[in-house]
Structure 1
Amino acid sequence: MHAILWNLVFSGFPAVGFHNHIQASGSCLGSDRNTKMTTFCPWDSRIKGEFFHQTAFSIGLSVVKNFIEDLKKLVELEPKAFCGIEMYNGILMRYVKGSSAYLGKQEDGVDFDITYYRSKDPMAPRLYEDIIEEVEQIGIFKYGGVPHWGKNRNVAFEGVMNKYKNADKFLKVKDEYDPERLFSSEWTDQVLGLKEGLMVSKDGCALEGLCICSNHNHCAPTKGYFCRPGKIYKEAKVCAGLGS
């Protein structure tokens, strides 16, 4: 398919011009006129492309060594612990500087970016569900990780504003620059701690990160996944399969 389209639209080298004028494929959500032939965006909701979630947070340099050692302990207990994480990137790490921005990084640290594949069925547990949930809770709660604002599930934002010393200043500026709440929604209000409802209690909610499990129905008991303590971080509550 790619070769056919290439021959149809490409007129040959050299390709000269400004980068913003180059279009290598159809738009992600607007290619109906050619029967989706140029739909190359794998996240296009109209096609059965890849489906994945991301968990990303920053751990301060003062405790990042301890966090990494905890991950190593999980691997020692379960050598296949991180099967299911995107195989080429693994856990992506990068150094980040502390920032004076009101919602910036509070100190120098390391970003951890975890990409994992997810069933489109919200009630389907992931491969090594409990391990990834424990990593998430270790990073966010045990070591006070600051979540990436666009790459996380609800659980990562629980109490997040308490992690920023200038959170009140941010909310004041937010109100001044957006008095009509054009850039606000029920979701942002929940994330910013202005409204309740961020954590949802219902069957299967822990599978989607809408809650931290407190009973078995929050996991998938009919599929053999029950709410259990973490393996090394006992304060964690995770959905573990039988035999995990």
Structure 2
Amino acid sequence: MQCDEEFLTTLINKPFIQVTLQLQPMFKRSLTFVARSDEDLAEQAVKFGHQHEFADLAWYPGHRKVLYRNDDRVPVNTSGNGVYDFIGFRSTAALAIQINRFAEDTLEAAKSADGKCADSLLTTSTLALAAYGLKNNGLLFTGYPVIGYQNKMQASGACAFGSEDRLLTACPWDPRIRGSFFHQTTISIALDNVKEFIMDVQKLRDLKPSAFCGLELCDGRLMRYVKASSAYLGKQSDMLDFDITYYRSRDPMTPRLYEDFLEEIEQMALFKYNGLPHWGKNRNLAFEEVMKKYNNSKAFLEVKYRYDPDGLFSSEWSDQILGLDGSVIVKKAGCALEGLCICSEDVHCAPDKGYYCRAGKVYKDARVCTDVNSI
């Protein structure tokens, strides 16, 4: 590979950061999944992370269920040789992936929320019966807890190691087979605000539970605990990540079924509860003036300029996110459908398909694309 001489000279003359890595002794983990009602989730979510070292939760709001992950460090001499090979991250028959996508497209086109609820119940039940891909001895699941070495329990899918077979099998997200296609939204909420945020989402859910079943087709709302960090753009307090994966049409001008519910949650998390967006899992609207949310953003930009004054590692997109060059918001017809903007006019939605810009149902300051024919 031939490198640009000027680029290399510039790099050589820049100061470098020294990084020190620290290893720790190998250990094992003991993991048990427990499904419960979400009735007390608002209280449990705040304290569950303090009870288990590797805790997380998967919330299925349409069916009012929560999957608690009781996951703790145990001594290395504890009996067990378990592995975690999550089913959703395994190499899968390409035809099955395409059929699954076709089924979701069909339900979207038919505006069948009940169909999505039935499909999601089947999906989550199948995952539970298969213990989500956990295996006690590397081959079979024989019961909880599953105990295994850290590296085998932290790794959660064998898809990347699948053999080449001319796409008879593939990862579900492989673009070559036109299978899964989705949006991902991940927002961190300070633990002090988590209870109120979950209660607001539950209020919204209670208005139309079936509007949330589409989330369960992608393993619900994954909730992960993150500690406060001293990094300039790190978490400024202990937080809970809310990771949502949901349907996306390949036509950017096609609205989603009950799009307004998810848009309201997104805006509620970002603006009412001052959530921090994941830097790689969000739509444009999440990054508007995002640097104002970080106390040390000025220090970060100073370091950025010091180590990269010529912007070699910058782009138009990163400059917009950092507030250095324009705005990430794009105002045009249909812009709210892809999260390029928050709607302020009906044309930002899809009025020709019955979707108009309306206020939120619980968070009244939200502006969302609502299917007026479904009200």
Q: TM-score, normalised by structure 2?
A: 0.56
Give 1:39 deviation, angstroms. 6.5
Show the counterpart of 1:170.
300
Letter in 2 for 1:202: K
State the number of aligned residues: 219
- Give distance in 2, aligned partners of 1:133 and 1:239: 8
1:40 aligns with 2:179: no
1:24 aligns with 2:162: yes
Q: 1:146 aligns with which of 276, 279, 303?
A: 276
1:90 aligns with 2:210: no
Show the counterpart of 2:257.
127
Show the counterpart of 1:80.
210
Give 1:42 deviation, angstroms. 3.2
1:70 aligns with 2:191: no
- Can you list the C-alpha shifts for 1:42-66, whole angstroms capped at 9, x where unaligned? 3333331210110001101111100
1:106 aligns with 2:244: no
1:52 aligns with 2:190: no
Letter in 2 for 1:43: W
Give 1:167 deviation, angstroms. 0.2
Unmatched runs of 5 consecutive residues or more in structure 1: 4-21, 27-33
Give 1:159 deviation, angstroms. 1.3
Show the counterpart of 2:70.
none
Single out whichever of 147-156 and 188-197 deviates more from structure 2: 188-197
Q: 2:358 aligns with which of 213, 228, 231?
A: 228
- Give distance in 2, aligned partners of 1:225 and 1:37: 38
Identity value in percent: 63
Cα–Cα, structure 1 residues 222 and 59, in superposed 2: closer, same or farther, change >3 Å?
same
Unmatched runs of 5 consecutive residues or more in structure 2: 1-91, 94-159
- Give distance in 2, aligned partners of 1:93 and 1:153: 19
Secondary structure in structure 1 of the residue aligned to 2:240: strand
| 2:218–2:246 CA contact under 8 A, matched in 1 | no
Give 1:179 deviation, angstroms. 2.5
Letter in 2 for 1:44: D
Show the counterpart of 1:196.
326
Secondary structure in structure 1 of the residue aligned to 2:274: coil
| 1:52–1:117 CA contact under 8 A, matched in 2 | yes
Larger Rg over CA atoms: 2
| 2:218–2:245 CA contact under 8 A, matched in 1 | no
Secondary structure in structure 1 of the residue aligned to 2:302: helix
Give 1:38 deviation, angstroms. 6.3
Letter in 2 for 1:192: L
- Greater strand proportion: 2
| 1:61–1:109 CA contact under 8 A, matched in 2 | yes
Letter in 1 for 2:351: P
